Amino acid sequence: MRFLPIFLLAAALAGCTKSHGPLTTYFVGAARFVSGNRTSNSLPGAADTLAARLYVDATDKGTQGLKRLYITVDYSPRLQPFVYPTPITNFRPSSVTPPSEQLVYMDSTFTGAPSELLFTTVFGVRTSTGTEHWTFTATDNAGNSSARSFILAQRRADSATVYNDYTLRLPVPATSKTARRFLDLKTGLALPGFTVASNPAQQARTDIVVLPDGLTLASPDGLAAMYFGSNKWPVSNRSSTRFVLTSLTPTAFTGITDAVGLQQQFVGTGTARITGLLVDQVYAFYVTDNEKKARSYGLLRIIALPAGTTAGLQIEIRMQKPAL
């Protein structure tokens, strides 16, 4: 997330029709930024990382300045992939529950009633077949609101597999505690701290916290404190993830394609934190569903370590899908 100074934007504003009112929002159009609907067919492989830039104009005297920016993502069907019934002809879309899920990506209020805002965010898209509907809503102190949205679609040819696989390219490490990323391995989302800090539901779904060094992966229940404090993320709402280092090679990793094989790689009690990562190491892990108290097993391979100022940690995940 970045709030940036306002520069000359007239030539770059795109993807929107000007709304008639004192408060207006625009997507900034550029090769790097999403300003309209997109469809991806990239998986299996690296999960797409996209960026969007929003410009909010509250210079009209009727706005009384900006008050709030609220960003939601609606995922359909549900965010976590599932195992289709056998035979697949028995599948009925109506059996998918919940049929859709909403994530509050950001809910921020402003002090000082700014008259302009340039907001940039970088985010990962879903790793299973379906759509995600992003909505950016700005509100001013006079009660006016203005929104812009786009829809991203993911199409996978292998949706009927019993596992979900994807690669995460995580941000370059930084010294700030806010550089931590919060991974939901079940869905493939790598979320920033501002999404998780005020969202108990997403806290419960978080499986791994990537610490600022970019080389330490920890279970939420394996950390004494989060950077936003135990008052915002109670210990009782932290899930349990455990890791075991295996002797699997990258080729052997790729060859495990069934749920039983994934579970059999986890031998022992495991650890809540892993450090000293090396390229091509393969860890077996399990994550615990806080609500259902059920475990899901998977494998995590280290593809690349943070290097220089441009490349962060890259990991490949192969994980059991739950039953429908």
Which is higher by pLDDT, 224 or 207? Answer: 207
Exposed (0-12), middle (13-18) or buried (19+): which is 124, by Cβ within 10 Å? buried
Q: How far apart (Å, rounded) are the C-alpha atoms in residues 201 and 322? A: 19
pTM summary value: 0.89
Q: What is the pLDDT of residues 41-53, one digit of tens each?
A: 766 677 888 999 9
Q: What pLDDT is stored for residue 294 in this prediction?
A: 82
Q: Is the pLDDT of residue 12 over 70?
A: no
Q: What pLDDT is stored for residue 211 in this prediction?
A: 86
Q: How far apart (Å, rounded) are the C-alpha atoms in residues 239 and 184? A: 11
Neighbours of 291 (CB within 10 A): 10
Q: What pLDDT is stored for residue 173 in this prediction?
A: 60
CATH 2.60.40.3880 fits 1-160, yes or no: yes
pLDDT-derived band of residue 300, with 50, 70 and 90 as boundaries? Answer: very high
Q: What is the pLDDT of residues 63-83, one digit of tens each?
A: 999 999 999 999 999 889 999
**Could you tell me the residue ranges of all domains in the chain?**
1-160, 161-324
Q: What pLDDT is stored for residue 6 in this prediction?
A: 42
